[in-house]
Amino acid sequence: MVINLNNLFNSISKNSKMGDFQDLEHIDGLSISTTSANLYSKKRDDLVLFYFRNGATHASVYTQSKLISENIKWNLKINKKKIKALLINTRNANAFTGKDGFKGLKILADDLSNELTQKQKIDEEKPAKIESDEILFACTGTIGEIFPTEKIKKSIPDLIKKIRYTQNKYVWMKASMGILTTDLKPKLAMEECYIGNKLVKIYGIAKGSGMIFPNMATTLGFVFTDATISSSILKQLLKENIQKTFNAISCDGDTSTNDMLSIFATGEVANSNLNSVKDKKLSHFNSSLFNVLLNLAKRVAADGEGASKFISIKVKNCKTEEDAKKISFSIANSPLVKTAIAGEDPNWGRIIMAIGKANVNLNPNKIAIKFGNITIIENGKLSNSYDETEAADYMKGEKIDLLVNLNLGKKEFTSYTMDLTKKYIEINSDYRT
pLDDT of residue 2: 37
Residue 211 confidence (pLDDT): 54
The confidence band for 12, taking pLDDT boundaries of 50, 70 and 90, is very low
**Cα separations (Å) of 28 from 52, 100, 203, 265, 270?**
9, 36, 12, 10, 12
Q: What is the CB neighbour count within 10 angstroms for residue 211?
A: 23
Which residue in 294, 289, 292 sits closest to 414, CA to CA? 294
Closest-CA residue to 175 (of 5, 427, 289, 12): 5
The conformation of residue 298, written as its DSSP 8-state character, comes to H
Cα separation, 259 vs 60, in Å, equals 10
Question: How many structural domains compose the chain?
Answer: 2
Residue 2 lies in a domain: no
For residues 64-80, average pLDDT: 94
Residue 328 reports pLDDT greater than 60: yes
Domain check: are 290 and 324 in the same one?
no
Q: Hey, how many other C-beta atoms are within 10 angstroms of the C-beta on 49?
A: 24
Q: Which of 187, 210, 108, 115 is nearest to 149 (CA)?
A: 108
Residue 39: C-alpha distances to residues 141, 222, 256, 296 (Å)? 10, 22, 20, 26
Give the count of alpha carbons within 13 A of 240, CB side only: 15
> Mean pLDDT across the stretch 270-289?
96
CA atoms of 190 and 188, how far apart (whole Å): 7
Q: Confidence class of residue 213 from pLDDT cuts 50, 70 and 90?
A: low
Q: Is residue 352 part of a domain?
A: yes
Q: Do 80 and 170 reside in the same domain of the chain?
A: yes
What are the start-end ranges of the H helices in 310-401?
321-332, 335-342, 348-356, 388-394
At 42 the pLDDT is 92
* Cβ-contact 204, 299 below 8 angstroms: no
pLDDT tens, position by position, 355-393: 999 999 999 999 999 999 999 999 999 999 999 999 999
Instruction: Let me know if residue 72 belongs to a domain.
Output: yes
Same domain, 288 and 317: no
Task: Report pLDDT digits (tens) over 108-143.
Answer: 999 999 999 999 999 999 999 999 999 999 999 999
Report the C-alpha dihedral over residues 300, 17, 292, 32, rounded to 10 degrees: 70
pLDDT value for 405: 98
Asked if the structure places residue 24 within a domain, the reply is yes
Element (H, E) at 411: strand 411-418
CB atoms within 10 A of CB 327: 26
pLDDT in tens, 298-309: 998 888 778 899
Report pLDDT for 425.
81
- For range 189-218, the mean pLDDT: 81
Residues 155 and 261 grouped into a single domain: yes
For the ranges 408-412, 418-422, 428-432, the maximum mean pLDDT occurs at 408-412
Q: Are residues 39 and 109 in the same domain?
A: yes
Phi, psi of 109 (to 5 degrees): -65, -45
Query: 332: domain range?
Result: 310-429
Given 302, 322, 343, which residue is the final one in a domain? Answer: 302
pLDDT value, residue 215:
47
Same domain flag for 272 and 247: yes
Provide the CA 262 distance to its chain's centre, in angstroms: 10
Contact indicator for 175, 187 with CB cutoff of 8 Å = no
Q: What is the pLDDT of residue 337?
A: 97
Q: Assess whether pLDDT exceeds 50 at residue 185.
A: yes
218 is an active site residue? yes
Does residue 6 form part of some domain? no
Among residues 92, 86, 105, the alpha carbon closest in space to that of 159 is found at 86
pLDDT at 13 over 80: no
Task: Please give the pLDDT value at position 20.
Answer: 53
343 and 288, same structural domain?
A: no
**pLDDT at residue 240, as a whole number:** 94
Q: Quick check: is 370 in a domain?
A: yes
Are 103 and 171 found together in one domain? yes
Mean pLDDT across 51-79: 95
3-state helix, strand, coil in the chain (%, to 5): 35, 25, 40
User: Does residue 52 lie within any of the structural domains?
Assistant: yes
Report the CATH number at residue 406.
3.10.20.340
Domain identity same for 331 and 293: no
Q: What is the rounded average pLDDT for all residues in the chain?
A: 91
Residue 429: per-residue pLDDT? 76
Catalytic entry in 140, 218, 219, 266: 218
Q: Tell me, yes or no, whether 65 and 197 share the same domain.
A: yes
Q: How confident is the model at residue 291 (pLDDT cuts 50, 70, 90)?
A: very high
Domain boundary among 248, 273, 302: 302
* pLDDT of the residue at 193: 97
